[in-house]
């Protein structure tokens, strides 16, 4: 499948129709083939990141959202390790602290917006404030309803000021989540990751899908698009995400800076 066609298929314009998307989609790739495609994409990403970091005229922000066990952490490990860690800025947003709660919900987010030259990753984000907050009723509807506008405006400001934004919803199926939860429960080196409370969100699956649908539909814009990436097969997911990132880095089109003037006649003394 061509890059262009793949990206069009993943990108959301309007209702994301999550239920109509196959979380196990592989776009016709075989597993081995996907590994090779991924390695090629990573090579291109490494070079693009070098130039982004040297250029320091723009940044890339990746917002990662998903249900538990959809693979947010493993996406970061797979796609972002291999890049120069000096230019990667990973920010997990967990339950807000007391200090964070004493401010508006975008305050802690804004602080971690990536600087020029950096690839920033939000592992969860301000979207939790229209997802878990809505589903669990942590704020009344009249409060979270206004947030779609805030978020669109906030992201537009970031984009206008040089941050390219890519928002990714890892679309895992409810069956695959069950499988991964069971694996966590069974494997001694993974068991610590499981909390009995993880089942509470699972029980609210449909409410979450409604909240995701609204959030994605209302905030997928030209300058801060949402992509729904099938996440049941990690190897297909990785190719999709690497392609999305390459597309946006190529759009930034970073360049090595011009050398200082007057270097032509310089020689290095012993």
Residue from 44, 90, 106, 139 touching its own copies (CB under 8 A): that is: 90
Interface with its own copies in residues 152-181 (CB under 8 A): 174-175, 178, 181
- Pick 137 or 257: Cβ nearer its own copies: 257
If one asks whether residue 182 binds its own copies (CB under 8 A), the answer comes out as yes
Diameter of the chain measured on Cα atoms: 71
Whose CA is closest to 64, among 170, 215, 205, 155? 170
Core vs surface per residue 20-55: b (16+ CB within 10 A) or e: ebebebbbebeeeebeebbeebbeebeebbebbbeb
Q: In the block, which residue shows the tokens 């998307």?
A: 21
If one asks whether residue 200 binds its own copies (CB under 8 A), the answer comes out as no
If one asks whether residue 83 binds its own copies (CB under 8 A), the answer comes out as yes
Judge contact between 175 and 76, C-beta under 8 A.
no
If one asks whether residue 61 binds its own copies (CB under 8 A), the answer comes out as no
If one asks whether residue 202 binds its own copies (CB under 8 A), the answer comes out as yes
What is the end-to-end Cα distance of the chain in Å, rounded? Answer: 56
Residue from 19, 95, 102, 266 touching its own copies (CB under 8 A): that is: 266
The string of DSSP letters for 194-227 reads --TTHHHHHHTHHHHHHHHHHHHHHH-BTTB-EE
If one asks whether residue 99 binds its own copies (CB under 8 A), the answer comes out as no
- Pick 1 or 185: Cβ nearer its own copies: 185
- Pick 84 or 153: Cβ nearer its own copies: 84
Residue from 6, 9, 21, 82 touching its own copies (CB under 8 A): that is: 82
Q: What are the beta bridge partners of residue 119?
A: 60, 88
The Cα 124–Cα 239 span in angstroms is 21
The Cα 73–Cα 61 span in angstroms is 16
If one asks whether residue 268 binds its own copies (CB under 8 A), the answer comes out as yes
Judge contact between 1 and 239, C-beta under 8 A.
no
Select the span of 84-92, 135-143, 218-226, 231-239 touching its own copies (CB under 8 A). 84-92
Residue from 1, 39, 86, 115 touching its own copies (CB under 8 A): that is: 86
If one asks whether residue 262 binds its own copies (CB under 8 A), the answer comes out as yes
If one asks whether residue 203 binds its own copies (CB under 8 A), the answer comes out as yes
State the Rg of the chain over Cα. Answer: 20
- Pick 147 or 246: Cβ nearer its own copies: 246
Q: Which spans of this chain sit near its own copies (rule: CB under 8 A)?
A: 54, 73, 76-77, 80-86, 88, 90, 92, 123, 174-175, 178, 181-182, 185, 188-189, 191-192, 194-196, 199, 202-203, 256-260, 262-263, 266, 268-270
């Amino acid at each position: 499948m061509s890059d262009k066609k793949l990206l069009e298929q993943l990108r959301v314009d309007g209702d994301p129709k999550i239920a109509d998307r196959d979380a196990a989609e592989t776009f016709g790739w075989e597993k081995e083939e996907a590994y090779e495609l991924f390695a090629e994409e990573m090579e291109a990403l490494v070079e693009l990141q070098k130039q982004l970091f040297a250029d320091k005229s723009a940044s890339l922000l990746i917002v990662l959202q998903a249900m538990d066990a959809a693979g947010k952490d493993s996406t970061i490990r797979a796609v972002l390790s291999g890049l120069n860690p000096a230019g990667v800025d990973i920010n997990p947003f967990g339950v807000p602290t007391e200090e964070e709660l004493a401010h508006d919900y975008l305050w802690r987010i804004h602080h971690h917006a990536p600087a020029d030259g950096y690839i920033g990753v939000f592992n969860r984000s301000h979207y939790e404030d229209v997802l878990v907050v809505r589903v669990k009723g942590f704020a009344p509807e009249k409060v979270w309803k206004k947030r779609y506008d805030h978020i669109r405006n906030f992201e537009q400001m970031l984009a206008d000021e040089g941050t390219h934004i890519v928002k990714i919803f890892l679309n895992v199926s409810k069956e695959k989540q069950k499988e991964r939860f069971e694996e966590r429960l069974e494997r001694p080196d993974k068991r610590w990751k499981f909390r009995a409370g993880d089942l509470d969100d699972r029980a609210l699956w449909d409410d979450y899908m409604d909240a995701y649908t609204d959030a994605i539909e209302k905030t997928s814009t030209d300058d801060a698009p949402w992509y729904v990436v099938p996440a049941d097969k990690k190897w297909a997911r990785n190719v999709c995400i690497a392609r999305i990132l390459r597309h946006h880095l190529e759009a930034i089109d970073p360049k090595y800076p011009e050398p200082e003037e007057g270097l032509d006649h310089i020689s290095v003394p012993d």
